[in-house]
Structure formats: structure tokens, C-alpha cells
Amino acid sequence: SISRLLYLLQQETSSTELRTECAVVLGSLAMGTENNVKSLLDCHIIPALLQGLLSPDLKFIEACLRCLRTIFISPVTPEDLLYTDATVISHLMALLSRSRYTQEYICQIFSHCCKGPDHQTILFNHGAVQNIAHLLVSTSYKVRMQALKCFSVLAFENPQVSMTLVNVSVDGELLPQIFVKMLQRDKPIEMQLTSAKCLTSMCRAGAIRTDDSCIVLKTLPCLVRMCSKERLLEERVEGAETLAYLIETDVELQRIASITDHLIVMLADYFKYPSSVSAITDIKRLDHDLKHAHELRQAAFKLYASLGANDEDIRKKIIETENMMDRIVNGLSESSIKVRLAAVRCLHSLSRSVQQLRTSFQDHAVWKPLMKVLQNAPNEILVVASSTLCNLLLEFSPSKEPILESGAIELLCSLTQSENLALRVNGIWALMNMAFQAEQKIKSDILRGLSTEQLFQLLSDSDVNVLMKTLGLLRNLLSTRPHIDHIMSTHGKQIMQAVTLILEGEHNIEVKEQTLCILANIADGTTAKELIMTNDDILQKIKYYMSHSNAKLQLAAMFCISNLIWNEEEGSQERQDKLRDMGIVDILHKLSQSSDPNLCDK
């Protein structure tokens, strides 16, 4: 029957009334199950309806658009079907002026089919902003609402669209002012939320300043209102997620939000679903609550993560909220990957606090579930979880010991071999933190776990971040004399090769400075010194850097020299003679005349 309807719809010889009725019946079918929509798609309904839009008859066009709208809002319809033919978008833009129905349906189609930057760019280049802006002041609420939704998806994470919107005006009023009017308390919630999303996107794109009154006095309070108990669960989810995005990178907004309407306490309520069911009549509500429960937890974790991103007092407030640490720990083992990711993000945000690492993190043995999360998790979770682990491995963190005992070295060494850059950085960074002021056994375990091949692999990594962290690890491994001598006795040859490799390579000042500092540490060893003194190539390099144009490198090179010549140490006379013969004293004379006071003193 579908194919028969489609046949009649496409017959130019059928009467317009019949073709319109066919479009209406097909639209009704599309409102049924997802399987209905699949059957319609299999019969190529979309090209047939798009063809129908070329008809001169407005009623028929509206029926086709209504049916297209119903099909495109179904989750089984691929959005790309709207973009296969470039002329379709232009034609839809032209049809926007025909009636309030074409306006409503076309805006709805656009907002459902605009997924990601490619779609945004296509719509933007076809004049979406100019064509849709005036619909924000339409007499029809549905048209205003669908136009607003269009702007919210067009501007999302899109600086180009956001920067354009700021300067567009309708009837002498700029769009941001129109959006602000739409988020007043007397407007429907859907409208308040969507305009808050538009303003949030514009603010994050830098089109509106974070201290602009339309953000501080209008958008932020509106989003906090959306988190309150009076709102529907889905509104609370959207409100919290949007607010988390708005304040994510701005300390001042984080502070303002944290003291607006007791937000931190209000969010604790997000964890209380599904609520206990008293009567059997509540089964429907239970089903609804269950569906939204994990979305609520995810949204709350995200917002807590944003709130606590920078401010110590806010982190303290969050952690002191009822059972907060238990909730995060439970979140780490939830079945929903989205909740797990949000919980890890929240933990990561709170782990930036020295105070909390020493107290709450310790009391709740947070490292246990965290180590569990790190076992075969997907990359997006691994990146945040390994960043959190980096913080838990800082020297003042009491979690450092138990983490080591639970196989962390092996896990981190495997991260350094990842294809994913962020994971390589975090793996080596965590090892660097772990090696800081560590006992010799830990240092030896790290070197064993990494293997010399992997160390060289990391030292020749194309990313400077990986390289710097690897040098940082080496520097931490080679600290305190007995450790320096021990490590250089087992790995001296390879480490000296690595140092040579980097001092000869094309690297920036920071990298070379870090490498010279490693040499200075080696020069501080008792037996390790000899590895430098018997290596003329390295001695020449130190001499070269003493006369370098960059003062940082000159200072680092002089540290190497001063560690080699201490009078109290055995063999210092021979070492001084050798360096004197190399012309080091002459360079020192010259440097003592330097205009740089640091160089001069040294």
C-alpha cells in the first residue's frame, strides 16, 4: 500500500487534492512505529516528497513538508539524506517565505538535521541566519520556537555562526537582546531553555563576554532555575548540562553559579531518582524516573566538575555535600558509560585540590575504583581517569603507596605505548610524578617496566609534551646520589646516548635546558661523574652551551661544570685539570664579565 500511495503522490496527472491526501496519509504512517519509518525510507519516500516541493500548489507543499518533518525527527532517519542534493537546501530556504506552516516545518527539519560542523556550515552558507532571523518575531509561537531551536543547533560550538549572530538585528533589535527577552520567567520553559542555550554558545565562542550582564544576570540565573525541583526531569538535565558548559572555563562564572539559589545542594537531589514507589499507580512514574535517572546523575557530575574546576572553596563545598564522595565512587562503576565518564570528570576536577587529596580522597580510598576504571576502558574515559591518577600520584598524596602496590607501573607503562597522544602524555606524566622523591626500588621498577627501547621511543616522540615529560621522568629518576650511581651503573650507556641524541637534535630551549639539567644530576653522582668525564663528545657539548646565546642554557651548562669540580670530592683535581685544558676557565672569565647577574654570580 505504501508503494501505491507513493505512486499516486508522484503522478503529475493525479489531482492535487489526491496527491495532498496521499502525503497526509504517508505522514500519519510515519507517526507510527520506527519500523513504519524504515519501510517508508526503503521505498525512497524522501526523494519523492522533495520532488513534491517543486509543485506550485501551497497546500500540497505543506503536506509534503509536514510528512518530511515527521520522517526527519525519527531517530532511524539518517540526517545526511537532507544534504545529498545541494539544490534542496536552497529550495527550502526559498519556501520559508510561503506560509507559517512552511516556516514551522522547515525550521524543525533544519534543527533536527543539523548534526555537527559540516551541516552547520552548509546551512550557514545557504543563508540560514538571514532567512530565519526574522522568524524569531513571528506572530506564531510554534514558528518562533522552531526558529529559536534552529539557532541553538547552528550556534552550538560554532564560533563562525556565533560571531555572526551577535551583529544580526530584527526590527532594530539585536539577536542577543531578542534571546534575553525569550528567557524571561513568564515565557514557556522550552523557550527559556533554548534561548539560554543560544546565549551560552555565543558566550563560549567569545561572541559575548563572560562578564556581560546578559550572561551574568540573565542566562546563568535562568539555567540555575532549570535545575530546581519544580522543573521536569528532562528540563533539569538540559539545564544542568548547559550550565556546566557555560561556566566550564570561567572562574568568575563558577563562583557566581556556586552561590546562586543553593545550586550545590540543589544538585544533590539529582541522585535521588528513581524515588521509592509507594503505590502501584506510580509504576508509570517509576518508568519515567528510571529512564532519566542516569541522565540526571550524568548532568550533576558534569556540573559539579565545572563548578569545581578552579576554586578551592567550591571544591570543599561540593565534597561536603551529603555522601558526595560515595556517589562519585558509585558513579565510577555504573553500567552507563556516559555516567562513568561524567563521574571520572567530576573526580578529576576535585583531584586538583591538594587539601582533598590528603583528606576525602584518602578516607574513601578513591584510587581503588579509579584503578578499576583504568582496566580496559574506552579512550575518552582513559584520558580523564589517567589525568586523575597523575594527581593522585603527586608526592603529597597519601594514595601514592597503595596505587603502586596495585600494579600501576605496568598499567602506566602500557599507556605510554598508546596510539592516542593524550594517553601517552598522561602515562609518562604519571610515571614522572611517581618517580619524584621515590625510593630506589620504585625507580628501578619504572625503568624495568618501561624498557630502554620504549624510553628511546618516547624521547623521539613527535610531540614535545611527551618529550618534556619523559625528560622530567629521567630527571626525577636521577636524583639523590646513591640512586644516580645505581641507575647509571645499570643504564648509563643508554642514558648518555639519549642525552647526546637530544642535545644534537632540533629541539626548543626548554627541551635542551631540561636535558642539561639531567646531565647536571649525573655529574652530581659519585661514580656516575666518570661517564661524563670519559665522554669527550659530551664535554664539548657542555662547553658549547656555556657560550650559547641563551642564558638559561648557559646556566644549566655551568651547573654541570660546578657539579664536576667540587673540591671535597675524590678525583676533583684531575677533573679540574682536564676541564682547564679544554678552555673552560677562559669561558668562565668571559662570563664573569656578563651583564646578566645570574651568569655573573655562577
Q: Reduce the DSSP state of residue 169 to 3 states and report it.
A: strand
64-68, 353-357, 375-379, 386-390 — which is least confidently predicted? 353-357
Task: Answer yes or no: are the C-beta atoms of 374 and 411 closer than 8 Å.
Answer: yes
Q: Is residue 231 part of a domain?
A: yes
Task: Output the pLDDT for position 601.
Answer: 85
Q: Does a structural domain hold residue 399? A: no
- Confidence class of residue 282 from pLDDT cuts 50, 70 and 90? low
Is 343:351 a contact under the CB 8 Å cutoff?
Answer: no
Is residue 267 included in any domain, yes or no? Answer: yes
Residue 412 class from Cβ within 10 Å (0-12 exposed, 13-18 middle, 19+ buried)?
A: buried
Q: Mean pLDDT check: name the lowest of 251-265, 333-347, 402-416.
A: 402-416
pLDDT level of residue 364 (50, 70, 90 thresholds): confident
Tell how far CA 58 is from the center of its chain: 47
Asked whether residue 177 carries a pLDDT value surpassing 90, the answer given is: yes
Q: Which amino acid is at 312?
A: E
Decide if pLDDT at 304 tops 80: yes
Give the Cα separation of 512 and 508 in Å (integer): 7
Looking at 291, 319, 347, which one is the last position of a domain?
Answer: 319
What confidence tier does 538 reach under pLDDT thresholds 50, 70, 90? very high
Q: What is the dihedral of CA 145, 146, 151, 157, to 10 degrees?
A: 100
Q: What is the CATH classification number for the domain harbouring 494?
A: 1.25.10.10
Predicted local confidence at residue 53, as pLDDT: 93
The pLDDT of residue 363: 78
Q: pLDDT band for position 589 (50/70/90)?
A: confident
pLDDT attached to residue 522: 94
Q: Is the pLDDT of residue 266 over 90?
A: yes
- Residue 522 is part of which domain span? 482-601
What is the average pLDDT value for the chain, to the nearest integer? 91
Instruction: Please check whether residue 599 is in contact with residue 552, taking contact to mean a CB–CB distance below 8 angstroms.
Output: no
Distance, CA of 46 to CA of 53 (rounded, Å): 11
Question: CB count, 10 Å around CB of 251?
Answer: 13
Band of the pLDDT at 201, cuts 50, 70, 90?
A: very high
- From 266, 296, 319, the end of a domain falls on 319
pLDDT classification of 395: cutoffs 50, 70, 90? low
Select from 355, 353, 365, 359 the least CA-distant residue to 328.
365
489: amino acid identity, one letter: S
Whole-number pLDDT of residue 75: 93
For residue 95, what are the contacts with CB-CB under 8 A and spacing of at least 6? 53, 61, 65, 102, 106
Res 450 pLDDT > 80: yes
Q: What is the mean pLDDT of residues 515-542?
A: 92
Give mean pLDDT, residues 400-427. Answer: 89
pLDDT at 572: 86
**How far is it, in rounded angstroms, from Cα 478 to Cα 43?**
70
Cell of 375: 582496566
Pick the closest to residue 412 from 438, 436, 441, 447 (CA basis): 447
pLDDT at 58: 96
Q: Is residue 79 included in any domain, yes or no?
A: no
Task: Give dist(CA 383, CA 427) in Å, integer.
Answer: 9
Contact 254/306 with Cβ under 8 angstroms? yes
13-17, 39-43, 509-513 — which one is most confidently predicted on average?
A: 509-513
Output 374 or 1, whichever has higher pLDDT: 374
Asked which of 61-65, 134-138, 192-196, 369-373 is least confident by mean pLDDT, the reply is 369-373
Instruction: Tell me the per-residue pLDDT of 25-51, one tens digit each, with 9 for 90 and over.
Output: 989 989 988 898 998 899 889 999 999
Rg (CA), the chain: 32
pLDDT at 362 over 90: no
Q: How far is CA 28 from the centre of its chain?
A: 42
pLDDT higher than threshold 90 for residue 210: yes
Q: How does pLDDT run across 108-148, given as a tens digit for each residue?
A: 999 999 999 999 999 999 999 999 999 999 999 999 999 99
SS3 174: strand
Distance in angstroms (rounded) separating the CA atoms of residues 59 and 16: 9
Reference 79, options 41, 113, 102, 28; nearest CA is 113
Whether the pLDDT of residue 378 is over 70: the answer is yes
Q: What is the DSSP string of 468-504?
A: HHHHHHHHHHT-SHHHHHHHHHHHHHHHHHHHHHHHH
Per this entry, what is the length of the chain?
602
HSE-CB for 42 with a 13 A CA cutoff: 8
Q: 3-class SS at 41?
A: helix
Number of compact structural domains in the chain = 2
Query: Looking at residues 139-168, what average pLDDT do you find?
Result: 96
Mean pLDDT throughout 534-552?
91
Instruction: Please report the beta strands in 44-194, taking only residues with DSSP state E, as ranges in sequence order.
Output: 169-170, 173-174
**Cβ contacts of 269 within 8 Å, gap of 6 or more:** 229
Give me the pLDDT at residue 598, please.
83
pLDDT class for 203, splitting at 50, 70, 90? Answer: very high
Spell out the long-range contacts of 533-538 with Cβ–Cβ below 8 A and sequence spacing 24 or more: 533/564, 533/575, 533/578, 535/496, 537/500, 538/496, 538/499, 538/500
Is it the case that residue 198 has pLDDT exceeding 90? yes
pLDDT of residue 280: 53
- How far does the chain reach from its first CA to its final CA, in angstroms? 92
pLDDT of 180: 97
Asked if the model's pLDDT at residue 403 lies above 90, the reply is no
Query: Does residue 467 lie in a domain region?
Result: no
pLDDT reading at 495 higher than 70: yes
Question: The dihedral of CA 213, 232, 150, 248: what is its sign?
Answer: positive
- Nine cell digits for residue 407: 600494579
Residue 467 DSSP SS3: helix
Query: In the prediction, which pLDDT does 560 show?
Result: 92
What is the predicted pLDDT for the residue at 347?
A: 94
Residue 357 has pLDDT above 90, yes or no: no
Q: What is the pLDDT of residues 418-435, one digit of tens each?
A: 999 999 999 999 999 999
Structural domain contains residue 592: yes
Residue that wins the pLDDT comparison between 143 and 573:
143
The verdict on whether omega for the bond into residue 274 sits within 30 degrees of 0, i.e. cis, is yes
Burial class (CB in 10 A: 0-12, 13-18, 19+), 309: buried
Higher-confidence residue of 374 and 192: namely 192
Mean pLDDT, residues 332-349: 93
When pLDDT is cut at 50, 70 and 90, the band that residue 279 belongs to is low
pLDDT score recorded for residue 396 = 67
Q: What is the pLDDT of residue 542?
A: 92
Flag whether pLDDT at 313 surpasses 70. yes
Tell whether 97 is covered by a domain: no
Helix or strand (DSSP H, E) at 292: helix 283-307
Last residue of a domain, one of 276, 292, 319: 319
- 414 located within any domain: no
Other C-beta atoms lying within 10 Å of the C-beta of residue 60: 21
